[in-house]
């Protein structure tokens, strides 16, 4: 496969290879998809102010994050059912992240279990959890993550109710995927994907939810999972999880500065400014637009990461200049995985690494650790 020259090209390749319901599952957002589009457009709110005479013949793209030195400020964010896009998709993506020297975040809704990933992947990995109605299951997932030597725990807080994803409804796609005659017609129309997944699809399941005596079918598990989410979760639950988990704890889905400040007060180690990629609440503020107020609320007391809309290395540079410590990649990771498995994900990370390195050089920035902050940015318009 020739090297893709942009994230947009990875998206086109994924669209060509995947059945429409599977592609739209990754690509789509909630309702009118306004927040999805706003995440990408928000980067146009800022322009870079180069200072070429600062001298940047060599560039250091590494960042310090939660006690770890990462080679690049790009992390693979938690994305459910990655194993639907490529055989053993979670393991393939984790290996690519390890090769790049960065973090792989395993979704609670992964096809492979955290134990399977731990056995096949020696790199730095974080685990996503929710607050469930059954708090004992939340505790169980945290304990399993500790036993599997996950370096950090990500508590996602913006998925307590499932967003209305109208592309999925129109396609008849559900979590889990259905395999009726209508869906089968979509799937066999993409023979390369179908052939590569032919052994995976019959046993497709949510690995982290399989228990002895529990329903093994993905349909039964998905119905059970939806009923486990707890809209009544509260700050007391976050504080409780903090007492259970001895390592770094991240809160994902923070957009309001008041929530950011409260998270810092109860001992959360890092915040991920995120609107779930526009897949939950359509009309929510774009992640980049929310970032400055969140940073103002917490100062340097906790690390702040950005999730949503990053499609270029220069996008990452803008987020870092505003004060984010690193950025997470969701859809770009799935598009690249669908394109060429582990090789595709690594190529996507390398593409962004090269773009960021080039942008830093043209702006006269030699190190992200010494990034001159907003001095490299000029507002295109007033940021809400």
List the chain domain ranges.
7-378
Look at the chain and count its residues: 384
Average pLDDT of span 343-355: 98
Residue 98 a catalytic site member: no
User: What is the model's pLDDT at position 375?
Assistant: 77
Look at 81 and 211; give whichever has higher pLDDT. Answer: 81
User: What is the model's pLDDT at position 177?
Assistant: 64
- Given pLDDT bands bounded at 50, 70 and 90, which one contains residue 73? very high
Average pLDDT of span 64-72: 97
Class of domain 7-378: alpha beta
Average pLDDT of span 233-243: 97
| For residue 182, pLDDT beyond 80 | no
Average pLDDT of span 376-383: 73
- Given pLDDT bands bounded at 50, 70 and 90, which one contains residue 348? very high
Look at 325 and 209; give whichever has higher pLDDT. Answer: 325
Virtual torsion, Cα 30, 139, 67, 315, nearest 10 deg: 0
The residue among 36, 19, 63 whose CA lies nearest residue 270 is 63
- Given pLDDT bands bounded at 50, 70 and 90, which one contains residue 212? low
pLDDT digits over 263-297, tens only?
999 999 999 999 999 999 999 999 999 999 999 99
CB distance 93 to 105 below 8 Å:
no
Residue 35's Cβ-side half-sphere holds a number of Cα atoms within 13 Å equal to: 24
Which of 91-100, 148-157, 159-168, 252-261 has the least mean pLDDT? 159-168
The radius of gyration of the chain from alpha carbons, rounded to an integer in Å, stands at 20
pLDDT digits over 121-168, tens only?
779 999 999 999 999 999 999 999 999 999 999 999 999 998 999 999
Cα gap 23→8, rounded to integer Å: 14
Query: Could you tell me which residues come within 8 angstroms of residue 44 by beta carbon, excluding any fewer than 6 positions away?
Result: 380
User: What is the model's pLDDT at position 66?
Assistant: 97
Phi and psi at residue 277, to the nearest 5°: 65, 25
| Interhelix angle 20-27/331-363, nearest 10 degrees | 50
pTM of the model: 0.94
| For residue 186, pLDDT beyond 50 | yes
Kindly name the residue from 108, 121, 186, 276 that is annotated as catalytic.
Answer: 276
Average pLDDT of span 243-267: 98
Percent of the chain residues topping a pLDDT of 90 = 79
User: What is the model's pLDDT at position 323?
Assistant: 95
Query: Which neighbouring-strand residues pair with 154?
Result: 128, 250
């Amino acid at each position: 496969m020739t090297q893709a020259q942009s994230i947009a090209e990875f998206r086109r390749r994924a669209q060509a290879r995947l059945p429409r319901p599977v592609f739209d599952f990754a690509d789509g957002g909630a309702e009118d998809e306004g927040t999805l589009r706003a995440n990408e457009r928000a980067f146009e709110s800022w322009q870079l102010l180069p200072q070429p005479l600062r001298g940047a013949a060599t560039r250091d793209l590494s960042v310090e994050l939660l006690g770890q030195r990462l080679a690049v400020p790009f992390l693979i964010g938690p994305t459910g059912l990655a194993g639907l896009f490529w055989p053993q998709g979670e393991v393939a993506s984790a290996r690519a992240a390890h090769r790049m020297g960065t973090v792989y975040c395993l979704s609670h809704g992964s096809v492979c279990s955290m134990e399977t990933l731990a056995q096949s992947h020696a790199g730095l990995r974080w685990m996503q959890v929710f607050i469930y109605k059954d708090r004992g299951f939340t505790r169980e997932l945290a304990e399993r993550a500790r036993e599997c030597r996950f370096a950090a725990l990500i508590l996602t807080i913006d998925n307590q109710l499932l967003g209305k994803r109208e592309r999925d409804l129109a396609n008849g796609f559900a979590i889990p995927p259905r395999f009726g005659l209508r869906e089968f017609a979509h799937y066999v129309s993409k023979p390369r994907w179908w052939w590569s997944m032919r052994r995976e699809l019959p046993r497709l399941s949510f690995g982290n939810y399989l228990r002895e005596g529990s329903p093994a079918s993905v349909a039964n598990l998905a119905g059970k999972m939806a009923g486990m989410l707890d809209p009544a979760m509260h700050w007391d639950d976050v504080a409780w999880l903090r007492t259970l988990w001895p390592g770094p704890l991240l809160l994902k889905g923070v957009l309001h500065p008041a929530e950011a400040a409260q998270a810092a007060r109860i001992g959360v180690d890092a915040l991920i400014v995120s609107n779930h990629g526009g897949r939950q609440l359509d009309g929510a503020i774009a992640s980049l637009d929310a970032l400055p107020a969140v940073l103002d609320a917490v100062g340097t007391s906790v690390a702040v990461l950005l999730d949503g809309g990053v499609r270029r290395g220069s996008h990452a540079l803008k987020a870092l200049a505003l004060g984010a410590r690193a950025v997470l990649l969701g859809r770009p990771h799935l598009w690249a995985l669908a394109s060429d498995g582990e090789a595709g994900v690594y190529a996507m990370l390398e593409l962004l690494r090269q773009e960021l390195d080039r942008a830093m050089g043209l702006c006269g920035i030699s190190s992200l650790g010494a990034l001159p902050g907003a001095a490299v940015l000029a507002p295109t318009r007033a940021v809400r």
